[in-house]
């Protein structure tokens, strides 16, 4: 486990974070596949073998330490991705931790159903807050993202904060609007779409969780885009 998480209680919280993030991610996609069949295969698509992006994405990112979380074949199929990354990242020297899921695909119809506003309510969570933010990156770039906060009652009330965005052929997009516009233009020359979800769990303190996922998104955005770009470039070179 990553540096900074110590003790059985902290370890249990981290395992819960990973498990819940994963279950919500894949939980409701099946029910939406029939509706999503109208979205076409991306033109000029570049498929990647599973595990390719993870080879290019560092485990150490600007003060964060990552741990790959293995998935079963059944769960991988449920994510509807061609390649994926699923990791927990912990900020060095603290107990702050997030989960990172990157889903890479070449079929819009498969990627669009797995959205937080769809999957979380389908898994029994209630949306309590949603906002679109612009995160400042290097060289004057911005990362438009959506930050959504969900809650779920019970003996131990839970709160989950999710930062979600898409990378459409190296262009950032906070929601599926760009995917939809591309899907209706068959002539569009797009190589891939990648969805990024960064999740933090906590019983309360949603403002702190929102700041945490935003901080990791800022630190991770450029290394992740470079990793995907390099993986795609390599795949194109091998295909020539």
- 3 state DSSP class of 129: strand
Between the CA of residue 207 and those of 104, 211, 214, what are the distances in Å?
29, 6, 11
Q: What dihedral do alpha carbons 221, 227, 230, 234 form, nearest 10°?
A: -150
Beta bridge partners of 238: none
End-to-end CA distance of the chain: 40
pLDDT at residue 29 in the model: 44
CA distances from 35 to 13, 24, 110 (A): 36, 19, 10
Give the separation between CA 34 and CA 37, rounded to whole angstroms: 6
Closest to 63 measured CA to CA, from 33, 97, 37: 97
Per-residue tokens: 16: 């819960």
pLDDT at res. 32: 37
Q: Which single residue is written with the structure tokens 């630190």?
A: 219
Average pLDDT value for residue range 30-54: 61
pLDDT digits (tens, 9 = 90+) for 205-227: 567 999 999 999 999 999 999 99
Exposure of 85 in the CB half-sphere (CA atoms within 13 A) = 27
Q: What's the pTM value of the predicted model, to 2 decimals?
A: 0.79
d(CA 153, CA 126): 9
Print burial letters for 198-233: b (CB count within 10 Å at least 16), e (below 16). Answer: bbbbeeeebeebbebbbbbbbbbbbbbbebbbebbe
| pLDDT of 76 over the 60 cut | yes
Inter-CA distances, 113 with 13, 14, 121, 161, 199, Å? 28, 26, 13, 19, 18
For residue 220, CA distances in Å to 59, 139, 196, 210 come to 11, 15, 10, 15
What pLDDT does 182 receive? 56
How much is the pLDDT for 127? Answer: 94
Residues 135-184 have pLDDT tens digits of 999 889 999 999 999 998 877 778 899 999 999 888 898 887 666 655 54
What is the distance between the alpha carbons of residues 207 and 124, in angstroms, rounded to a whole number? 22
Residue 193 parent element (H or E)? strand 193-202
């Amino acid at each position: 486990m990553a540096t900074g998480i110590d003790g059985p209680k902290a370890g249990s919280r981290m395992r819960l974070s990973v498990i819940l993030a994963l279950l919500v991610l894949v939980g409701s996609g099946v029910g939406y596949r029939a509706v999503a069949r109208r979205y076409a295969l991306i033109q000029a698509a570049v498929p990647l073998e599973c595990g390719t992006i993870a080879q290019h994405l560092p485990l150490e990112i600007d003060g964060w330490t990552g741990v790959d979380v293995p998935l079963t074949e059944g769960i991988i199929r449920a994510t509807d991705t061609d390649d994926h990354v699923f990791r927990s990242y912990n900020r060095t020297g603290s107990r702050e931790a997030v989960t990172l899921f990157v889903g890479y695909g070449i079929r819009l119809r498969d990627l669009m159903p797995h959205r937080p506003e769809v999957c979380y309510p389908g898994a029994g969570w209630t949306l309590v807050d949603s906002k679109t933010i612009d995160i400042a990156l290097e060289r004057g770039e911005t990362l438009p993202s959506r930050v959504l906060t969900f809650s779920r009652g019970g003996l131990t009330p839970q709160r989950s904060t999710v930062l979600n965005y898409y990378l459409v052929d190296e262009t950032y997009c906070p929601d599926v609007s760009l995917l939809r516009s591309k899907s209706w233009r068959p002539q569009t020359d797009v190589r891939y779409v990648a969805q990024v979800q960064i999740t933090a769990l906590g019983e309360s303190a949603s403002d702190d969780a929102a700041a945490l996922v935003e901080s990791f998104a800022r630190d991770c955005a450029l290394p992740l885009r470079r990793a995907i770009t390099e993986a795609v470039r390599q795949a194109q070179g091998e295909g020539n």
